[in-house]
Amino acid sequence: MSDLIKITIDGKSIEVPKGTTILQAARQIGGKYPPAMCYYSSLKNTGGKCRVCLVKVTQGSEANPRPMPKLVASCLTRAEHGMVVENESSQEVIDARNGIVEFC
Ligand code: FES
């Protein structure tokens, strides 16, 4: 069985190792990935504080296709096989990020 899982972000799909976060997968795809202020890939226990990396999960996984009820921090949320995510393609996500940055 493969240890790779498939995730789709803004219509672009990629296979990544299990344990990869949505943010890490988005960075591998390239383009406009979620912004990050408190997450640093080279440091442990970072992320989850600023919320500027929010994304919308419209399909949780292939096994459980229900959407996640709230926007999630992409730096903390692990990708699941069959997960579908909206990043720059969601106005809700853009508005939430803008609201967060306004308070910084
Ligand atoms: S980068 Fe700060 S919560 Fe994700």
- Is any atom of ligand 1 closer than 6 Å to the C-beta of 16? no
Global pTM reads 0.94
- Is any atom of ligand 1 closer than 6 Å to the C-beta of 32? no
- Is any atom of ligand 1 closer than 6 Å to the C-beta of 51? yes
Instruction: DSSP letter for 25, please.
Output: H
State residue 1's pLDDT score: 55
The CATH number given to whatever domain includes residue 45 is 3.10.20.740
Domain that holds residue 85: 4-102
pLDDT tens for 11-44 read 999 999 999 999 999 999 998 999 999 999 899 9
Torsion over CA of 78, 82, 87 and 89, rounded to 10 degrees?
A: -170
Distance separating alpha carbons of residues 15 and 102, to the nearest angstrom: 34
Number of domains present in the structure of the chain: 1
pLDDT tens for 9-19 read 999 999 999 99
Distance 22 CA to ligand 1 centre (A): 11
**Which residue out of 21, 22, 39 has the highest number of ligand 1 atoms within 8 Å of its CB and is therefore the one to mutate?**
39
